[in-house]
Amino acid sequence: MEELALHDTFAVTRAGSPTLVDGELHVWAVPLTGDAERLGANLSKAENQRLSRFHFADHRRRFQIGHGALRLILAGYLGCGPADVEFAAGPRGKPFLAAPGPHFNLSHSGKLALIGVSKTEVGLDVEKVRRLDSLTEIARKHFSPSEFAALDALQGEARELAFYRCWTRKEAYIKALGEGLSMPLDVFDVSLCDEPRLVAIRDGKEDAAKWSMLDVSPGPEFVGAAAMRALGVRVQRYRLADA
Ligand SMILES: CC(C)(COP(=O)(O)OP(=O)(O)OC[C@H]1O[C@@H](n2cnc3c(N)ncnc32)[C@H](O)[C@@H]1OP(=O)(O)O)[C@@H](O)C(=O)NCCC(=O)NCCS
């Protein structure tokens, strides 16, 4: 099986072993390279219908592992079987548990899925770092003026890293709110530096001082961020043992 380089702060852990307490965010890294059939066996009818619409075998495999692992991880917190986990979705498609249980959010990029689980609503995004010829154009289109100015002061690898930090931090915030593409991206600012931060929110709907932005980058090739409307969040990092 293909080995995916992850930071060793992500401790190999079985689903069901960690206990989730208030104020914690559990971040699970799931390499999408394992046994697709075993993890995919617990998918629901609706998930299998989605699966059948993928054209490429590799996309099918990633979906089976990612969503099978999501079921396995959530079942560990709920104390039920993976096939018994039931989902519902918010108005813009954000999935949540139909029965009482923790909040969660999933993101995938390349051969990795990252899943955040918390007692507080959470948004999480991971991106595999790759060379982007259109980096400046994407940033000009999606970043706020102050974010773009911060990016534009940088060159080379520092510029690339800042771009991915900004992208994942912005995405984590809109995913926490469940807003998806409906939300204007220039009404809030995130930091681009080492210290992740929601700097300002200008639409009058949220108070940036009440939010935490967290670096949950799982490995050297990835940048990851999580956003929660909570302060003093403690992050526990796991690599799913069964994937
Ligand atoms: C779903 C969305 C919120 C994120 O999409 P993405 O970054 O392509 O994908 P990710 O892998 O990070 O997340 C996808 C997962 O988020 C979850 N999700 C779906 N809708 C969601 C929503 N409205 N809010 C939060 N999470 C959502 C699902 O679990 C989904 O997994 P699935 O597709 O396998 O079922 C997308 O609709 C979106 O809004 N993208 C914004 C893109 C953009 O312009 N970003 C600019 C940042 S500067």
Quick one: pLDDT band at residue 1, thresholds 50, 70, 90?
Answer: low
Look at residue 181 in the predicted model and tell me its pLDDT: 82
Percent of the chain whose predicted confidence (pLDDT) is above 70: 99
Whether pLDDT at 2 is above 70: no
Rounded to the nearest whole angstrom, what is the distance from the C-alpha of residue 178 to the centroid of ligand 1?
A: 9
Domain with CATH 3.90.470.20 in the chain: 11-127+230-240
Q: The CATH number of 128-213 is which of 1.10.287, 1.10.1740, 3.90.470, 1.10.10?
A: 3.90.470
Look at residue 242 in the predicted model and tell me its pLDDT: 72
**Burial of 113: CB neighbours in 10 Å, binned 0-12, 13-18, 19+:** buried
**CA separation, residue 76 to residues 71, 101, 166 (Å):** 9, 11, 32
Report the nearest atom of ligand 1 relative to the CA of 182: 39
For residues 110 and 221, the answer to whether their CB atoms sit within 8 Å is: yes
Crossing angle of helices 135-142 and 145-152, in 10° steps, is 150
Percent of the chain whose predicted confidence (pLDDT) is above 90: 95
Look at residue 27 in the predicted model and tell me its pLDDT: 98
Look at residue 110 in the predicted model and tell me its pLDDT: 94
DSSP label at residue 5: -
Torsion angle of the four alpha carbons 216, 219, 222, 224, in this order, in degrees rounded to the nearest 10: 0
Look at residue 182 in the predicted model and tell me its pLDDT: 86
**Domain 11-127+230-240 grouped into CATH 3.90.470.20:** yes
172-223 pLDDT per residue, tens: 999 999 998 888 999 999 999 999 999 999 999 999 999 999 999 999 999 9
- DSSP assignment string, 85-152: --EEE-TTS-EEESSS--EEEEEEETTEEEEEEESS-EEEEEEE----TTHHHHHHHHS-HHHHHHHH
For residues 222 and 112, the answer to whether their CB atoms sit within 8 Å is: yes
**Burial of 17: CB neighbours in 10 Å, binned 0-12, 13-18, 19+:** exposed
Rounded to the nearest whole angstrom, what is the distance from the C-alpha of residue 95 to the centroid of ligand 1?
A: 10
81-115 pLDDT per residue, tens: 999 999 999 999 999 999 999 999 999 999 999 99
Rounded to the nearest whole angstrom, what is the distance from the C-alpha of residue 176 to the centroid of ligand 1?
A: 10
Closest C-alpha residue for ligand 1 atom 44: 181
State pTM to two decimals: 0.96
Residue with the two structure tokens 């999408």: 32
